Amino acid sequence: MNADEAAAFIEHDEIIATSGFTPAGHPKVIPPAIARRGRQLHEAGEDFGLTLYTGASTGDELDGELARAQLINRRLPYQSCKELREQINAGKVEFSDFHLSNVPYYIQTGFLAPPKTAIVEAVDVTADGKVYLSTSGGASAAYLQAASRIFIEWNQFFGTKLKGLHDIYEPQHGPPRHILPIYTPSDRIGTPYVQVSPDKIAGIVLTDKADSSGSFRQPDENCRAIACHILEFLQHERRRGRLPQGQPMQSGVGNIANAVLSCMADDPHCDPVSLYTEVIQDSVFELIEQDKLEMASTCALAFSPEGQAKFLANIDEWRSKFLIRQQDITNSPEVIHRLGLISMNTALEMDIFGNVNSTHVLGSIMMNGIGGSADFTRNCLLPIFMTQSQSKGGRISNVVPLVSHADHSEHSTQIFVTEQGLADLRGLSPVERARVIIEKCAHPDYKGPLTDILNDGLERAPSKHIPLLLDRAFEFHRNYLSCGDMLGRKTS
Ligand code: COA
């Protein structure tokens, strides 16, 4: 059928669950058709709104199209779409921000209402119901099982070259939960397809569309500085015997994460790496070119347009180095713990006592969501949080007296890095942490004001353990709200 015919099945107030994890592997033609239909119904004065479940963030053809048509009433578990973010913050969309590892489990246990319709992008589908997914795993297997009807977007762009890259394993969530027998990033434990009942497939729409990721941006000076601090630190830890060689890594999304892998590729002292991660970006090509990639296990291949072309051109040669999994496997606390990952995620802000805010600007404005950052941080061997020391031309310090929203507490964090330096917080008391974070990570403009607040706390706070002054804890944030600058400087 065509996309409009598929969209005609969707009813008001339905729960739709789709493939997609980052702008990779999401359906690309049925959602725009649903948006067209929704607009027509709205113009005719009819109600038409949806609940949307996905793996994580998706591409503009899904979140963007449906948000612009004002069709999303409820959304989970993560997003990074400008229009949707505005609607969430305007109170028009109910957004549930979940740890990504939990989504399939919540579906399987019925904690989340099951979707009526699953819309999933595939590179092949067989008459007996074998669905070969495209560039991401996401929560597609759980959604395909839970939905009562399925629409497949059979994307010809990738040909059938992606067939075999997936390892689909659907854990039985118990209790008791069974062991996930993954001992190295390359271990395969499932099948290359999702098996569904063919009776549930209500339609197949042929497409021919690349994933809609943006172009790859070369890392800037600050990103490279952050990457260099991390590499130096890892080499130092290995020399001291505190970090075994060859521990697999998880690297988050964005430019900083890309830069770390680029710098690893460039560094002659850096050994080959294995990735056990959620998202793989273009920087992986540099590792391959320098013969430094052992294995890349991921939930999504989020390549730029040029990256997608390169991957498809070389897939036969590279196939053995890539594996795509579902998000309850890539982000499984059990597997992350067993593999002893080094995990690197980006913070919006970090405070001097070691807490991290990944999600809410000024404690209120939702940015994207927690994503997989806590799945990795709480369970890995070495959690690293990175950010630039300041944002918005220096009007915001990313090192603050107290985070305005806490996603990762001082008990979970270990290493903070900005372009200024790296703070190793392991084993330190709150005041020791504060001193080292200010010294190593804060921007020079903010070191004095942060030290002043800390010292004032040591004089006046109820305890010298965490010398927090409630009257000054949010001084930076209040300054920003009142005059657009965390130090209260006049902005032109
Ligand atoms: N206050 C206000 N705005 C801030 C800010 C702060 N403390 N820190 C950063 N920003 C702004 C930046 O200025 C930038 O704005 P712009 O888009 O207008 O330029 C934007 O936030 C993104 O920041 P950037 O420094 O470019 O980093 P990023 O693109 O890597 O995003 C997060 C950072 C925290 C938003 C992003 O990593 C995220 O959503 N993380 C949570 C989920 C996660 O960690 N997933 C990975 C698990 S694999």
CA of residue 243 to ligand 1 center, whole Å = 29
Closest Cα to residue 295, out of 251, 327, 249?
249
Q: What is the pLDDT along the chain (492 residues), one digit of tens a residue?
A: 999 999 999 999 999 999 999 999 999 999 999 999 999 999 999 999 999 999 999 999 999 999 999 999 999 999 999 999 999 999 999 999 999 999 999 999 999 999 999 999 999 999 999 999 999 999 999 999 999 999 999 999 998 899 999 999 999 878 888 999 999 999 999 999 999 999 999 999 999 999 988 877 778 899 999 999 999 999 999 999 999 888 999 998 877 888 888 888 988 888 899 999 999 999 999 999 999 999 999 999 999 999 999 999 999 999 999 999 999 999 999 999 999 999 999 999 999 999 999 999 999 999 999 999 999 999 999 999 999 999 999 999 999 999 999 999 999 999 999 999 999 999 999 999 999 999 999 999 999 999 999 999 999 999 999 999 999 999 999 999 999 999 999 866
CB 144 within 8 A of CB 131: yes
pLDDT at 257: 83
CA of residue 277 to ligand 1 center, whole Å = 19
CA of residue 284 to ligand 1 center, whole Å = 21
C-alpha torsion 101→386→273→247, nearest 10: -70
Task: Tell which one of 81, 88, 390, 391 to mutate to probe ligand 1, the residue whose CB is within 8 A of the most ligand atoms.
Answer: 391
CB 484 within 8 A of CB 478: no
**Cα–Cα dist 119/16, whole Å:** 7
CA of residue 79 to ligand 1 center, whole Å = 13
Please state the atom number of ligand 1 nearest to the C-alpha of residue 348. Answer: 8
Cβ atoms within 10 A of the Cβ of 472, count?
18
Distances (CA, A) of 248 to 126, 223, 299, 316, 428: 35, 21, 15, 24, 26
**Per residue in 49-68, pLDDT tens?**
999 999 999 999 999 999 99
**Cα–Cα dist 480/371, whole Å:** 27
User: Pocket around ligand 1: residues whose beta carbon is below 6 Å from it?
Assistant: 252-254, 256, 278-279, 345-349, 358, 361, 367-368, 370-373, 388, 391-392, 396, 398
**Cα–Cα dist 92/72, whole Å:** 9
Closest Cα to residue 259, out of 310, 296, 222, 294?
222
Give 47-78 as a 3 state SS string. Answer: CCCEEEECCCCCCHHHHHHHHHCCCEEEEECC
CB 88 within 8 A of CB 361: no
Please state the atom number of ligand 1 nearest to the C-alpha of residue 368. Answer: 39
Chain centre distance of CA 50: 23
Task: Supply the residues annotated as catalytic.
Answer: 278
DSSP letter assigned to residue 191: B
CB 62 within 8 A of CB 20: yes
pLDDT at 135: 98
CB 149 within 8 A of CB 200: yes
DSSP letter assigned to residue 408: B
**Cα–Cα dist 44/357, whole Å:** 43
**Per residue in 68-119, pLDDT tens?**
999 999 999 999 999 999 999 999 999 999 999 999 999 999 999 999 999 9
pLDDT at 492: 64
Please state the atom number of ligand 1 nearest to the C-alpha of residue 357. Answer: 34
pTM of the predicted model over 0.75: yes
Please state the atom number of ligand 1 nearest to the C-alpha of residue 347. Answer: 34
CA of residue 223 to ligand 1 center, whole Å = 13
